[in-house]
């Protein structure tokens, strides 16, 4: 718990590094970039293969557009009453079409191959400017009777007698068009268009379908619209649909009236309509660069850099190439700070392996100032970790504590000297525990580790050496069988090898024990021969009785000696379990020592 508290304190204290920056300098910047620039690196619209518009329009005279108001959403009758159809006599009125209901027409338009030619010359994606060809068809929905007094079919000789003439204008427009598209969202776009072209017309039509009063002139239109962009599954091709407001002007300076029956001499028409649109676009979709920008907004510089690299590789001539390179350089600059920040978070949750990897990567890419800053903070973290280990190793266990010390040294190699001192103290404490339970060889091993790590512990270890020497001598004096003597000799030899300073005290003991072992070996051999010769004379009840010997398991010892009077158990730093069993008799105490549940030594006193 103390370790966790230390790390939380360090993270809160050091979370904002001196030169760590975000692309967004204020919360408003973040909101602005996410809402206004979600498609900063979009793929420009390359071509629109087709664009269809269909709807209903209303028309009037030259002042028709100025007559729009809330009470008259489709305008009102022209001041001269002619509604775009000019007569020879200015006093002549065409009141039959004064009602807006008679000034409705069906409108259809079809544009093809609208191409973003400007993008081939100047690469940019702020707006898309497209040029294309189009066709428009505009026809009045209802047939209107001609005014009384106007000449009709009986005066016409140029067409067959196929019925009474009706007023039903029809216009066909062949045009060159321009579209300017503004897109800042992956789901919709706004556009403005303009067209100008050659228009043909016929104003009268018979019941049988014959037309009369033809003419040609110029048609011009402009409009704006909003389109929804369909799901394109991350492909460059998409379908779009939406609505468009369109204003159109048609001017025909002269009409063909061979029978001279119509007072209408020319057309100067204005129209307005709301149209449904459907089109297809190649381009105009989000790119991996837009994803990289969103990732940058979340301060994930590592993944943002990867995505910007992919964008620059895929779109080497993109209009925002310079901006992408600038953002990529910013990511490279901030990646070490991000890795250091994430490394601190992993340290806080004890994910040391990943934390060390991130911190090493942060140092590898950092500039000199950041390296100094990282090293300073790593040293603080490592020393705090060592402090926590030093105060809590008895609680968390020797093995866990030793692992934490090693992690601290990995975090900051500068703390190795202090880390070795902490390990030395831990090994010294383990040696004391092993010494108390009589495992002198393991105790000597821990003391030797401690001295190698911290030579300043020499005075303490000199005292322990003398205690160990007495312990080994005590073991030697208690060794009464071949196995015990052999184990004592091996322990003494190991002790001399680990600590040559013990050789003076131990070598004579080793020689004495080896001499005793040779004599016992001779007696053992003779005993075996006697047992073979007198095997038939032994009582049968002792044939199956098991002998107490090294290597037995606890339950086997219990079968021979019964339950012990006392059991002491400890676990070493490496996870090894040590047990000492005591059997108390009237005048003798027998002690049995187990290592990982195997009997390794016996003594009596």
Alpha-carbon distance 197 to 111, whole Å?
Answer: 13
What does the pLDDT read at residue 542? 47
Q: Which residue has the tokens 């389109």?
A: 227
3-state secondary structure of 578: strand
pLDDT score for 78? 47
Domain final residue, candidates 253, 285, 317: 285
Mean pLDDT of 483-507: 62
**Whether the predicted pLDDT of 429 surpasses 80:** yes
**b or e along 151-189 (b: 16 or more beta carbons within 10 Å of the residue's beta carbon)?**
eebeebeebeeeeebbbbbbbbbebebebebebeebeeb
Question: Is 218 found in the same domain as 72?
Answer: yes
Is residue 219 one of the residues assigned to a domain?
Answer: yes
Three-state SS for 432-469 is HHHHHCCCHHHHHHHHHHHHHHCHHHHHHHHHHHHHHH
What's the CA gap between 390 and 6, in Å, rounded? 14
Calculate ∠ Cα 436-437-442, nearest 5°.
90
> Residue 264 has what pLDDT?
83
Q: How high does pLDDT run on average in the chain?
A: 78
Locus of tokens 């020879």? 88
What pLDDT score does 408 carry? 82
**CATH assignment at residue 559:** 3.30.1450.10
pLDDT in tens, 586-601: 778 888 888 878 788 8
Contact of 171 with 198, CB cutoff 8 Å: no
Determine, yes or no, domain membership for 307: yes
The residue among 539 and 461 whose pLDDT is bigger is 461
| The pLDDT of residue 4 is above 60 | no
- Say yes or no: 310 and 391 in one domain: yes
* Cα–Cα dist 174/8, whole Å: 73
Tally of structural domains, the chain: 4
Based on the domain organization, do 300 and 280 belong to the same domain?
A: no
Tokens of 542: 């002792």
Q: Same domain for 480 and 572?
A: no
Q: What is the pLDDT of residue 237?
A: 85
Half-sphere exposure of 391 (CA within 13 A, CB side): 10
Provide the 10 A C-beta neighbour count for residue 485.
Answer: 19
Give the per-residue pLDDT at 26.
77
Give the pLDDT of residue 16. 38
**Looking at residue 12, what is its pLDDT?**
36
Predicted local distance difference test score (pLDDT) of residue 2 = 43
Domain boundary among 261, 285, 309: 285
pLDDT of residue 138: 93
Question: Which pLDDT belongs to residue 31?
Answer: 77
Indicate whether 407 and 478 sit together in one domain: no
381 and 464 co-located in one domain: no
Question: What's 80's DSSP letter?
Answer: T
Query: How far apart are alpha carbons 455 and 191 in whole angstroms?
Result: 82
In a domain, 24, yes or no: yes
Distance CA 314, CA 325 (A): 13
pLDDT for residue 135 is more than 90: yes
* Secondary structure (3-state) at 385: helix
In a domain, residue 457? The reply is yes
User: What token pair was written down for 479?
Assistant: 């060794």
* Better-scored residue on pLDDT, 437 or 151: 437
User: Do 123 and 242 have their domain in common?
Assistant: yes
Token pair, residue 572, equals: 């070493």
* Nearest by Cα to 391 from 380, 406, 378, 404: 404
pLDDT band at 489 (very low <50, low <70, confident <90, very high): low
Average pLDDT over residues 337-362: 81
Query: Mean pLDDT highest for which of 34-38, 298-302, 385-389, 439-443?
Result: 298-302
Instruction: Indicate whether 466 pLDDT > 80.
Output: no
Instruction: Summarize the confidence of residues 167-172 as an average pLDDT.
Output: 91
DSSP secondary structure, 255-285, as one string? EE-TT---SEEEEEEEEEEEEEEEEEEES--
Phi, psi of 597 (to 5 degrees): 70, 15
- Is residue 272 located within the same domain as residue 133? yes
Cα torsion 446, 449, 455, 459 to 10°: value is: 20
Tell me the three state secondary structure of residue 250: strand
Question: 144: which residues sit within 8 A by CB, 6+ positions away?
Answer: 96, 97, 102, 166, 167, 168
Q: Is 418 among the domain residues?
A: no
- pLDDT at residue 154, as a whole number: 57
Asked if residue 38 belongs to a domain, the reply is no
Query: Rounded mean pLDDT of 249-263?
Result: 87
Tokens (6 digits) for 538: 């032994």
How confident is the model over 22-76, as pLDDT tens digits?
887 777 777 777 777 788 888 899 999 999 999 998 888 887 787 666 456 555 5
- Could you tell me if residue 155 is inside a domain? no
Is the same domain home to 301 and 382? yes
Of the candidate ranges 80-89, 269-278, 446-455, the one whose mean pLDDT is the lowest: 80-89
pLDDT digits (tens, 9 = 90+) for 195-241: 999 999 998 888 777 888 899 999 999 999 999 998 766 577 889 99
CATH number of the domain within which 240 lies: 2.40.160.20
Q: What is the pLDDT of residues 507-522, one digit of tens each?
A: 666 676 666 666 666 5
- Residues 356, 474, single domain; the answer is no
Q: Does residue 191 fall inside a structural domain? A: yes
Among 172, 175, 191, which Cα is nearest to 130's? 191
CA distance 381 to 403: 15
Work out whether strand 577-584 and strand 566-571 pair parallel, antiparallel, or are unpaired: antiparallel
Asked if residue 270 lies in contact with residue 64, where contact means CB atoms within 8 angstroms, the answer is yes
The percent of residues in the chain predicted with pLDDT above 70, rounded, is 74
pLDDT of residue 79: 43
- The rounded distance, in Å, linking the Cα atoms of 128 and 191 is 9
Residue with tokens 């093995």, as numbered in its chain: 399
- 507: which 2 tokens? 């070598």
Contact 471, 487 (CB under 8 A): no
Do residues 282 and 47 touch, judged by C-beta distance below 8 A? Answer: yes
pTM (2 d.p.): 0.61
Report pLDDT digits (tens) over 540-575.
444 455 677 777 878 888 888 888 988 888 877 667
| Position 537 confidence tier, pLDDT thresholds 50, 70, 90 | very low
pLDDT exceeds 70 at position 10: no
Of residues 179 and 600, more confidently modeled: 179
- With a pLDDT cut of 90, the percent of the chain lying above it is 22
Based on the domain organization, do 123 and 256 belong to the same domain? yes
Domain encompassing residue 109: 46-150+163-285
Instruction: Among 285, 310, 328, give the residue marking a domain's end.
Output: 285
Confidence of residue 5 (pLDDT cuts 50, 70, 90): very low
Asked if 448 and 499 count as a contact pair (C-beta separation under 8 A), the reply is: yes
Q: Are residues 184 and 320 in the same domain?
A: no
Task: Dump the DSSP string for 512-562.
Answer: HHHHHHHHHHHHHHHHHHHHHHTGGGS-GGGTTPPPP-TT--HHHHHHHH-
| More reliable by pLDDT, 244 or 394 | 244
């Amino acid at each position: 718990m103390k370790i966790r508290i230390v790390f939380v304190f360090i993270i809160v204290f050091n979370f904002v590094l001196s030169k760590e920056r975000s692309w967004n300098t204020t919360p408003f910047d973040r909101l602005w970039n996410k809402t206004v620039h979600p498609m900063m690196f979009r793929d420009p619209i390359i071509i629109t293969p087709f664009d269809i518009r269909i709807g209903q329009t209303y028309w009037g005279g030259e002042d028709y557009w100025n007559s729009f108001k809330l009470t008259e959403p489709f305008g009102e009758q022209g001041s001269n009453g002619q509604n775009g159809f000019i007569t020879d006599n200015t006093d002549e009125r065409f009141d039959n079409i004064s009602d807006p209901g008679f000034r409705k027409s069906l409108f259809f338009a079809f544009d093809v191959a609208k191409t973003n030619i400007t993008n081939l010359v100047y690469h940019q994606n702020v707006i898309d400017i497209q040029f294309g060809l189009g066709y428009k068809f505009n026809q009045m929905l209802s047939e209107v009777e001609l005014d009384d007094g106007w000449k009709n079919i009986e005066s016409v000789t140029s067409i067959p007698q196929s019925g009474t003439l009706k007023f039903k204008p029809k216009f066909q427009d062949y045009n060159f068009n321009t579209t300017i598209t503004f897109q800042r969202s992956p789901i919709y776009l706004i556009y403005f268009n303009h067209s100008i072209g050659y228009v043909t017309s016929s104003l009268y039509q018979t019941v049988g379908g014959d037309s009369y009063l033809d003419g040609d002139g110029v048609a011009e239109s402009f409009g704006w619209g909003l389109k929804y962009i369909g799901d394109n599954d991350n492909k460059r091709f998409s379908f779009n649909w939406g609505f468009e407001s369109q204003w159109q002007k048609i001017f025909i300076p002269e009409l063909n009236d061979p029978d001279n029956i119509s007072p209408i001499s020319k057309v100067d028409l204005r129209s307005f309509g709301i149209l449904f649109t459907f089109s297809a676009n190649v381009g105009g979709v989000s790119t991996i660069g837009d994803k990289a920008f969103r990732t940058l907004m979340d301060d994930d510089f590592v993944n943002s850099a990867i995505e910007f690299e992919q964008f620059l590789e895929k779109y080497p001539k993109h209009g925002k190439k310079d901006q992408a390179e600038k953002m990529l350089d910013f990511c490279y600059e901030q990646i070490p700070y991000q890795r250091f920040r994430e490394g601190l978070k992993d340290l806080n949750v004890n994910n040391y392996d990943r934390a060390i990897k991130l911190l090493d990567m942060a140092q590898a890419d950092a500039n000199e100032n950041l390296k100094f800053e990282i090293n300073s903070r790593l040293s603080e973290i490592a020393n705090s970790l060592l402090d926590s280990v030093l105060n809590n190793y008895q609680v968390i266990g020797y093995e866990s504590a030793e692992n934490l010390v090693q992690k601290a040294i990995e975090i900051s190699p500068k703390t190795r000297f202090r880390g070795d001192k902490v390990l030395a103290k831990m090994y010294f404490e383990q040696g004391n525990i092993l010494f108390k339970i009589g495992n002198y060889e393991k105790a000597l091993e821990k003391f030797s580790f401690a001295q190698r790590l911290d030579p300043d512990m020499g005075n303490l270890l000199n005292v322990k050496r003398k205690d160990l020497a007495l312990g080994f001598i005590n073991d030697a004096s208690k060794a009464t069988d071949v196995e015990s003597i052999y184990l004592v000799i091996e322990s003494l030899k190991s002790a001399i090898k680990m600590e040559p300073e013990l050789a003076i005290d131990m070598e004579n003991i080793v020689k004495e024990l080896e001499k005793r072992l040779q004599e016992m070996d001779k007696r053992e051999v003779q005993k075996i021969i006697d047992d073979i010769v007198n095997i038939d004379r032994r009582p049968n009840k002792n044939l199956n009785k098991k002998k107490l010997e090294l290597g037995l398991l606890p339950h086997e010892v219990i079968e021979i000696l019964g339950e012990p009077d006392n059991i002491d158990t400890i676990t070493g730093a490496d996870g090894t379990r040590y047990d000492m069993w005591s059997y108390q008799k009237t005048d003798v105490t027998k002690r049995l020592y187990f290592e990982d549940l195997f009997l390794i030594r016996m003594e009596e006193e």
